[in-house]
Copies of this chain bind each other. A is one copy, B any other.
């Protein structure tokens, strides 16, 4: 790296925000699985103008930048860039809550703003609104999670469907505003997604075409009446029919989107504690099928209603539909269980239970300060979407479980009902990076599952940094379209090279 480029950044950001010390570099080069990419430096702009200036300098010196918000992309690559020799552009100093409107139910934030921060802010405001939280860390970024198209818990969980008004720094340093935001006096920027003219927000998600420095996220009102329910099936043979029943309930919106989740027994166990080393005589993997004969599935749903009467009517619709299809069905409402409204992720309280579960195979205790990267927690996450169809999903599950088990890992699987038409599946391969050769074995297992799913036509909807080039080629001229966008917007290819960059599909690229 040219020493002049560092100097140029130093002039703007000050020495405390241009980091090249080996501790910082080494930390940012570490993910929850094996990586080889080297990081040249970490630079930390403080506002949008800083970001513009940093990007212009990067262009001048042809030095690639890899933007991260809070850097909590655990299981998918953490802070590690897709390609070697990038400078990390860390946006955590842009951490202002810029606007908030209780009546129209939105909040406008910068990329450094975390779910925890918004939760606390809304509590201070005595707000009746909540943000759809991530299942991941409370300290992850609203903007980062949205741009990755990560999903949230609760009905606003399809994030891109509930955000608008981006401020974006283009790869050459210009700044644009999406929706109505480009008009100086527009009063509808925070309440209208599409604006007038082409809808552009989408091209800045899962992409390397711009750096989002501001975004409005819509907030959901806390319902007048809230219920939760859980159901259990003792073996997966009932799963197919149950999925199809839920499909009808979600399609007709009795259960709202992103408000019903399935966990298999391994997922549940990993949330409750660490691997039962003693019980298992230090052996891996854990197979409940072998030990107990059954592998339970657990479902949990939330109901958001405008009155007690309406909520109870919805409950009856669900009870009737699930009649005879589950081994247990338990409802709790805010009256019967007075703490249901408190600390509930389905009502916007973030928690770190999923992140704690990354210590599943570790033999050390879970530390107070959780950091899976630092602590050698092995996690490889695979996110895939299915048609909401029992037969297809159960067939795929059987094949995934079999592959993971044959690699001697636990098939840690969760599913979320994204809409009445699709289900997202989250497969976590969890291991201890300090066990020799586990890195390699885990990645081989991941690759087998990944390829198997793709062959069946189930394409991941989100990619880890190791898989950006692993999708099958496009059957059309898609690569040309992406090439035109990327080459037009980022002629020097300085922004997050290789990240969701599918130009290679176009053989004619220059």
Bitwise interface map of A from 471 to 510 toward B, beta carbon under 8 Å scored 1, else 0: 1101111101110110111000000000010100100000
**Does A392 touch B at the CB level, under 8 Å?**
yes
Bitwise interface map of A from 213 to 239 toward B, beta carbon under 8 Å scored 1, else 0: 000001001011000000000000000
A304 to B252, CA, bound (A): 9
Given A182-B475, A313-B307, A313-B309, A203:B202 Cβ within 8 A: yes
In the complex, which of the residues B198, B204, B218 contacts A482, with contact meaning CB atoms closer than 8 Å? B198
Bitwise interface map of A from 312 to 343 toward B, beta carbon under 8 Å scored 1, else 0: 11101100000000000000000000000000
A312 to B489, CA, bound (A): 54
Given A187-B392, A421-B106, A471-B183, A200:B309 Cβ within 8 A: no
The reply to whether A185 and B476 form a contact with Cβ atoms under 8 Å apart is: no
In the complex, which of the residues B197, B199, B389, B463 contacts A502, with contact meaning CB atoms closer than 8 Å? B197
Given A186-B457, A196-B460, A500-B196, A306:B421 Cβ within 8 A: no
A386 to B194, CA, bound (A): 13
The reply to whether B218 and A177 form a contact with Cβ atoms under 8 Å apart is: no
Categorize the interface residue count of chain A.
35 or more
Main SS at interface, chain A: loop
In the complex, which of the residues B197, B312, B422, B505 contacts A206, with contact meaning CB atoms closer than 8 Å? B197
**Does A352 touch B at the CB level, under 8 Å?**
no
A221 to B250, CA, bound (A): 11
The reply to whether A191 and B306 form a contact with Cβ atoms under 8 Å apart is: no
In the complex, which of the residues B198, B202, B457, B489 contacts A207, with contact meaning CB atoms closer than 8 Å? B198
The reply to whether A105 and B420 form a contact with Cβ atoms under 8 Å apart is: yes
In the complex formed, the residue of B with least CB distance to A424 is B192
The reply to whether A176 and B478 form a contact with Cβ atoms under 8 Å apart is: yes
**Does A251 touch B at the CB level, under 8 Å?**
yes
The reply to whether B307 and A475 form a contact with Cβ atoms under 8 Å apart is: no
For window 88-134 of chain A, which residues contact chain B by CB distance below 8 Å? 103-106
A86 to chain B, nearest CB (A): 20
| B contact residues around A188 at 8 Å (CB) | 385-387, 422, 457-459
| B contact residues around A388 at 8 Å (CB) | 104, 191
A463 to B199, CA, bound (A): 14
**Does A170 touch B at the CB level, under 8 Å?**
yes
**Does A85 touch B at the CB level, under 8 Å?**
no
A489 to B194, CA, bound (A): 21
| B contact residues around A471 at 8 Å (CB) | 183, 196
| B contact residues around A459 at 8 Å (CB) | 180, 183, 186, 188, 195-196
Given A191-B388, A485-B485, A476:B175 Cβ within 8 A: yes
**Does A59 touch B at the CB level, under 8 Å?**
no
The reply to whether A254 and B103 form a contact with Cβ atoms under 8 Å apart is: no
| B contact residues around A418 at 8 Å (CB) | 192
Mark A residues whose CB is within 8 Å of B.
103-106, 149, 160-161, 170, 174-177, 180-188, 190-207, 209, 218, 221, 223-224, 247, 249, 251-254, 304, 306-307, 309-310, 312-314, 316-317, 385-389, 392, 418-422, 455-463, 471-472, 474-478, 480-482, 484-485, 487-489, 500, 502, 505
Could you list some 24 contacts between A and B, CB below 8 A? A104-B421, A149-B199, A161-B161, A170-B477, A176-B480, A182-B475, A186-B459, A187-B458, A191-B385, A192-B422, A192-B461, A195-B459, A196-B460, A197-B500, A198-B206, A199-B203, A200-B202, A201-B202, A203-B203, A307-B313, A310-B313, A312-B313, A481-B489, A485-B485
